Structure 1
């Protein structure tokens, strides 16, 4: 009998081993004999075995206790509460535990391994803890719920009392969320040891605040939108602001050009006026910090703090600054997340949020540690390459909305059964419905009737440190000439040419150092351009026209378009007139041709109405030239709404031109824009021009700032620093650009500008002939020159030659000189 009794026991043990969960599984493919939950639990146990954790028992209970777990890999510390063997009551403060719906995580598994290694502890795992106190906690299995666990002390009283606030499943009733203060008071009267955990209280507060916002919107509605910003908001923008207010934390995913920035600013103002917020932090790319600052000041009149400087300076700003709006780059915010949390911002706005689309990236993980009651993500491309990007964005807004990443991907990814490679996606409409309360997206086509015919936007981009150095060098040279003019009241022709050269060099370096030396390519505009294009190319049937004054800049753009396989047309001064018509037709009629790239050789005579976007890589000083560019797409018969985007280098000659010289169009007209040459300006007009240049250079010297080391590193890593050599196959453009790169001959100056040496006179002649050759080699330039120096009498129809001269005396001297020459020949 004893043998027969032992045999069944042995068989049971064998069967039990067969059914035991495996010790090791693949992290990419689920074993067929395991459920998803079993597979994911084992994976976390495997990670717990490999990683290094420092574990401290806080309550000194043998097994079921509270623990502090430090992860050497992440550098973070977590709180773990071990309450049950089956993980039904266990808790960890990490995000994975709260979203995976497993009841465990690698930290809980690490604690179980830690406890099980001690002698005799494995037996204690079967001895479940007796919890005397009652508590309110959050159940993270399925939808988050606040639940009641009743302990041994006052058990009967708690069961009777719970019917007032909890359902039969001990889940908190919706009405009880608003009676939480009374609930806690009554519970503590039954037993003073009653506990309401922090996450339960936070969930209750979140529920109440959402209800209060909804009530506020129902009561006041559109009245909340009054006097938020000093600009009229379109109906869809008003809708976006109210949507973000209702959600509290949301994603605004409108198409590019629909005004996400102004909606974000107005939303922040609504929070301050009606929900008593005190601090809004805007996190954006480095290149957009001052763009946001300018927009906020323009729309609200408020002062803005831009977070810059070394770590101590930034920390002081976080702690002491009193401005409502603060702006910081992603790079700095990632480094400073702990200081930001100490500041306790009420709201965070993430602009161009593709910086956190990669959930594995360190900067993404750091940004997601920043805490605030309200948050708004602005992005035109919430789903660009894969659904993991969308998941990463939603994770910051509400980490529980889509559940665990594993379940989300298993539900919506299509994979190859053999290789496991992702082949497609399913159930995308279901995702849209699931996110309807926190994601709002409007396309340009949907709101077309609300939009004006033309929208202009200026985007400020920073210079790289090498660009800054060159820009300052040329600005200093201009300043020296200005001082010389102020001292003597006169600049000779050669100095005027130098002035023209250096001003043009300042403008060139704002685009790229390649325009100047054709070897390096330090720039930011090209990278910002393709950030814009990447977003535009996702919009069906959209086309874009890109203008730059410099052919070498268009050459750089063309190279990148080719690398990306984007079909485009390219017009510049070297393209014969006969070929131009085919370029226009191809762009307007070929659906695959997305970009028309042009210098100002294409500023007139083009009809490019197939495009609804125009991007200016650089701004002409002559407003008429700018309007000529815009007229290529915004003209009579245009059926589309058009957007004009101007890329302007921050704190440079371009930046100052917008405010200092825009009202001096009569002076600036033609100067540096292939029109009237400042060398031939009359004294009065040249004096006005020099006064404008003086104001310009003074403003530049006052506003140019030196980046600290971290800021330089941030710009260097954000933008492409690849240096490329390129052959210059266009001789005409090469001559034109080289004439602006440096003085044509070595310049000799004296303290007295009136002293002219024979060599200097020869140099002047060389300059004149060089410019003349360049002009006569270019058909467009010849046409412009002809229009400049000729005039037709409207009465007789006769055409006359007109030349700008310095004064009447100059003509008299020239005639006397000619008279002397003729007399010499007669003799």
Structure 2
């Protein structure tokens, strides 16, 4: 049984506050997180804590490596430190997942805020609904934007932004959603999660990092000039940027974690189909219509984007395009009747093509955003009437097609896919992706009437069909009065549909609403009924099933229209160049990153579809594109060697292996200490049922706490026992009682022979004795608090011994303990040794803080230089213009023209003089800002040290 001294020592060890840079910081959180943690996840979470001065980090591990778990560790540590004002912003589709994972894996309650419960809280309590005690907040991007004023009023301890690539274009428009969210959250520490922090447009890197810290780089213009594509080919510039982003971006690739994360393979299957004569005719007619420059049905604003979407719907199904044709006709008829060209085609398109909003954001920079089209003349109105009649013939043809050959082939694809599932031993589950809600409805009816009745479930952006409502109602009844129900109808409905797919249905038909975030590892057959042109979107889809936790190989079925040469070549590019459909990992980041962006790739595809008619033209265009891609991929992989944001430790695989070993050792010791402390402090309250498995029965409850009687088990297991962990009220009571123990000066005799393990340094110390003193040193600096245990130990002659000797000594069983009085000289000598230890500790901590300060000062210096260079650019530009005018002046022989040039030159020189004055003024302001930031840093670095007494003892090791 532990002595009082050992109890106090262990309680301090278990509960001491660790610094941001302490590798042991997350041990208590790791000990109770109900998830199989991997070392790369621990490494990422520690990275986020690395500096107390940091304003946050981007955790950018590849798809499927568990960024949610990494963020959960960071959240849990904040929660344990009572920093509980925590906000999670995620896509609406992922809110329920966050709610469930925080509760199930980390025992942290949360609330999903949306309009209904937000307004209810506001109206009933009159306080800010984002101010929640004992619960973290989860909301969607759209809701965050809508309620941004309420969010700004909270002093957040931490903000986690999931799928943060949605904010990477923040540099484009400060008034958009990204800009509004960024501005509101600038003062707070943030963790950004994204598997695609950069699609090779370097400006996106600036945008994403600016969300964390707007003073990390200079303006977007200076950043773009400094790190242009041309400049980054220079090794020094590339290395410089890499170093600058090291402190803020952490990224691990799947290939780096194969040693302990086992991935299944992707197995590609192709389902070829040939459209019927009517389907082919409809395709050709509409294709030609989309190629026309004078098509009135397509608004000039965002014409390219709308053409792209119409082509995707055309390839999806005749049912999807029929509805779109009807919409275009209605738009033109409104023009004829009222000359009303404000009819919103985009609003109607977004109902059928759910990705419209996001596509629109991505495409907006190259589109004409002016929706005010010219008034139509009478002649044009007559032309529009002719176009309406033409479109009506297309619509009549589309409506006359009762079934699609593509749909008929789906039945065959599912049959073959399920046979493959049976061979693999996997569940008979299939996830079908389409880009159209109309096509989704068609596929549903087709499958319901073809042997799958009652086995099909839909998943889209609204989920308002009668089946989804019924599934949701049943799910609510089943989970009533449980923590499964979050209170958010939209989030709970999505979870209900996923649960239904897992437990009841065989097939889920999904739109892009399911392509991000939801985990469907239980499904290993994925069908791309409509194949996106954007490789990143394809990878996201496959990542729903092919991810960590998938037990079976994932079969990916892709539909190809064999009569369409362009469709065939698109598939070849995605398959052969981007390697999306086979292998262990799918496409590598280097390959995906070799394209400018997914949107740019889609533009190239659209250009080919719009301009090439013959098979020869199509093949020539794709051959040219493929040559460009080959060169781009080759250049990317050779130039970057490792991607700009890949984990910066070149020995990452070895480092993660060592981390895993150390984490396991720390966890083992932590659990052992908690178990021993619990048995000692709860003696008389508990009966140990199973020593080896740390199971006990709580027979009586200590006063002051409210916990149930019954069987408890230490560890992450659940089921028959209450889960006993460091944050459990009973464990917290145990630790707190032991921390407060008042321990008399005693003489303790330790028996090494009764210790079950070998400790070399103690083995030779039988019969030795001396003195030991324990104190806790609390160190406050850089917005951080840490506690260090200092054990002062010496032999009988007062010669200092190693601290490690003391730590191992306190692990031994004690065979006798007696209260004694310590000689004053002995105590003075112990204090003298302690003071030396404390001085060394302070020097170490100050050295570490100095290093952290240097990083921040370096960042400020970089920021200052970025801004200085931008100011200087205008001066250089003016000098160049003046030099041109000088040359013109010297070459010109006409006196009047010379005089005009001189006047222009004088104006430029005046402008340059004013620019110099502005430069000097701005430079002075920058210097003042820099000095102010550095002065604040030094204020934060002021140390405050407190010492708390533990105990003094005389020790002896029994012969």
TM-score of the aligned structures, taking structure 2 as reference length = 0.29
TM-score of the aligned structures, taking structure 1 as reference length = 0.33
- Computing the radius of gyration from Cα coordinates, the structure with the larger value is 1
